[in-house]
Structure 1
Amino acid sequence: MNATSAPRSESEGLSVSVVVYRPELAQLANTFASLGAACETLRTKRPGLPIEVYLIDNGGLPDVLAALDELRAHDVAWTTLTGHGNVGYGRGHNLAIEQAAGRYHLVLNPDIDLDRDALVRALDFFDANPDAGLLTPWIGDEEGRQQYLCRRYPTLLDLLVRGFLPTGARRLFARRLARYEMRDLINERDIVWDPPIVSGCFMLFRTNVLKKLAGFDARYFLYFEDYDLSLRAHDVARVVYTPAVRVLHHGGGAARKGSAHIRMFAASAYKFFSRFGWKWL
């Protein structure tokens, strides 16, 4: 474990967890650079706010000191958690969630670039809306086009169409997918309360809410752990889509990552539907 020192407080502070497995160093450095810049902006509004980043190494972590320099440059403390092997996405984040002591905790993918004002706007929103417990931002792709990653409860057909059909074939299901992706409500302007499911690429929690939920369900190795956590979050707090908070997402779907990811997707989908109920069509 490597760490820089930072003050801790039970009542204030932000922690961030990033789980990596054989990460692409250039993208990880970009993520840390944008995170560091967003933390710097946050500290101009909230001087002395403790911030700590947990980098969870699920395997294949190369020399990341150059990437971590992006955090050091912005005076952001960091801790590397390693040696536990590839325990899966949710269990990896749980290692950091167990240690989180501040008021807020951000679950962050290593393929996200944060807007410089993202954290300021997010925490300001939490301050103004005490019933909000989980915040999801406006998410764009590499060209700046909006990604619709809020979801209504899926049917099995929705998942098959969106995840595995080629683009041309998906057009035949455009109306169905638009409903699943909440395109009737999600836009660049309007706050939307209580979307059923939000993306795990950026989930900003009040830490006490996350602790009540005991973090992610460790039975999911990869995929659907964010669906599961989103649905459970509604039991203890309100979930909110806040488009003033903006990030870019460089990720891809399971079908584009090969057969191993397809198998993991199918196994996690079975666990998810078995727990929350099957919907076929």
Structure 2
Amino acid sequence: MNATSASRPETEGLSVSVVVYRPELAQLASTLASLGAACEALWAVRRDLPITLYIVDNGGLPEIRQELDELQAHGVETSILSGHGNIGYGRGHNLAIERAATRYHLVLNPDIDLDREALLRAVDFFETNPEVGLLTPWIGDEQGRQQFLCRRYPTLLDLFVRGFLPGSVRSLFTRRLARYEMRDVINEREIVWDPPIVSGCFMLFRTGVLRKLAGFDARYFLYFEDYDLSLRAHDVARVVYVPTVRVLHHGGGAARKGTAHIRMFMASAYKFFSRFGWKWL
């Protein structure tokens, strides 16, 4: 991020960035529809809060004019950022963060469906808790079961077991993974302050915090950029898990996406541990 974007004054409002690379049209359309519904619920209470959506096209964006028209009909300003090629997840979001002049900025995956009241509840929480700089929601899977995507600092063994072992073998490490995934404190009812690491599929920031952090570290092409940003966020603000803010996540792990993703995962893991410190077992 450049000096101009870092000094840009904040105004009221919410900006959202969604980075896509050859997305599945049906899921992207579902994400955008759920975003539109959440914006409607927010506006029903906060008509003074303009919302801007940035679709960052890293390549292969299908035709979504109808979906964007529907959002614009509800008052969401939309913009497609394209022509830069596949620059990676974090750098893609940074293109939108550089343009954001809003009070809040949502980093959103194209495989997330928002609960209708997710944005309303999140903004309410920010406005009653000024020390919060980053909020993470309750995240469910396609069957509505909770995904435990808050994390304690990982070891290499944690990552290998969770990401690459078959379920029959992974069950031998149940207690270890439960601790890594903070299952002892994360649930559907209680707010949890300062989880060390939160998922990049839905990260709602005060935009000023993102500017202080200069957005995502562009050295990560894919994977671990959210781990990196989470840990750095603790240096400038408080991080909070708020289970009344709810979303569904349709994503999968690196090992299920093929060898190219495994290579990217390993390369990013090396960069992460080299920066923050190696933990083996």
TM-score for both structures, normalised by structure 2? 0.96
Aligned mates of 1:56, 1:158 — CA distance in 2: 32
Partner residue in 1 for 2:251: 251
The superposition leaves residues 220-240 of structure 1 with CA deviations (integer Å, 9 ceiling, x where unpaired) of 000000000000000000000
Aligned mates of 2:230, 2:202 — CA distance in 1: 12
The superposition leaves residues 195-254 of structure 1 with CA deviations (integer Å, 9 ceiling, x where unpaired) of 000000000000000110000000000000000000000000000000010000000000
Aligned mates of 1:73, 1:200 — CA distance in 2: 28
Supply the AA of the counterpart residue of 1:154.
P
Partner residue in 2 for 1:10: 10
The superposition leaves residues 149-191 of structure 1 with CA deviations (integer Å, 9 ceiling, x where unpaired) of 0000000000000000011111000000000000000000000
Is 2:205 the partner of 1:205? Answer: yes
Aligned mates of 1:191, 1:219 — CA distance in 2: 32
Aligned mates of 1:150, 1:180 — CA distance in 2: 8
Do 1:199 and 1:227's aligned partners in 2 also have CA atoms closer than 8 Å?
Answer: yes
Do 1:107 and 1:203's aligned partners in 2 also have CA atoms closer than 8 Å?
Answer: yes
Q: CA deviation at 1:74?
A: 2.2
Aligned mates of 1:69, 1:109 — CA distance in 2: 20
Supply the AA of the counterpart residue of 1:33.
A
Partner residue in 2 for 1:55: 55
Q: CA deviation at 1:43?
A: 0.6
Aligned mates of 2:11, 2:85 — CA distance in 1: 32
The range that moved more, 47-56 or 100-109, is 47-56
Partner residue in 1 for 2:185: 185
Aligned mates of 2:74, 2:177 — CA distance in 1: 41
Partner residue in 2 for 1:261: 261
In the TM superposition, structure 1's runs of 4+ consecutive aligned residues that sit over 4 Å from their partners are none
Summarize the alignment of residues 127-146 of structure 1 with structure 2, pairs less than 5 Å apart.
127-146=127-146
In structure 2, stretches of 5+ residues that fail to align are 1-8
Do 1:31 and 1:111's aligned partners in 2 also have CA atoms closer than 8 Å?
Answer: yes
The range that moved more, 56-65 or 243-252, is 56-65
TM-score for both structures, normalised by structure 1? 0.96
Q: CA deviation at 1:49?
A: 1.3
Partner residue in 1 for 2:19: 19
The range that moved more, 61-70 or 87-96, is 61-70
Aligned mates of 1:180, 1:115 — CA distance in 2: 27
The superposition leaves residues 239-277 of structure 1 with CA deviations (integer Å, 9 ceiling, x where unpaired) of 000001000000000000000000000000000000000
The superposition leaves residues 39-86 of structure 1 with CA deviations (integer Å, 9 ceiling, x where unpaired) of 011011111311000000001112121332342342211000000000
The range that moved more, 73-82 or 159-168, is 73-82
Partner residue in 2 for 1:176: 176
Partner residue in 1 for 2:161: 161
Supply the AA of the counterpart residue of 1:44.
A
Is 2:72 the partner of 1:79? Answer: no
Give the percent of matched residue pairs that are identical in Structure 1 and Structure 2.
81
Do 2:10 and 2:208's aligned partners in 1 also have CA atoms closer than 8 Å?
Answer: no
The range that moved more, 55-64 or 228-237, is 55-64
Do 1:28 and 1:67's aligned partners in 2 also have CA atoms closer than 8 Å?
Answer: no
The range that moved more, 19-28 or 43-52, is 43-52
Change (3 A) 1:170 1:179: same
Partner residue in 2 for 1:35: 35
| SS of equivalent residue, structure 2 residue 99 | coil
| SS of equivalent residue, structure 1 residue 19 | strand
Partner residue in 1 for 2:4: none
| SS of equivalent residue, structure 2 residue 241 | strand
Do 1:25 and 1:67's aligned partners in 2 also have CA atoms closer than 8 Å?
Answer: no
Supply the AA of the counterpart residue of 1:68.
L
Do 1:29 and 1:66's aligned partners in 2 also have CA atoms closer than 8 Å?
Answer: no
Supply the AA of the counterpart residue of 2:274.
S
Do 2:152 and 2:196's aligned partners in 1 also have CA atoms closer than 8 Å?
Answer: yes
The alignment yields a C-alpha RMSD, in angstroms, of: 0.9
Partner residue in 2 for 1:150: 150
Q: How many residues align?
A: 273
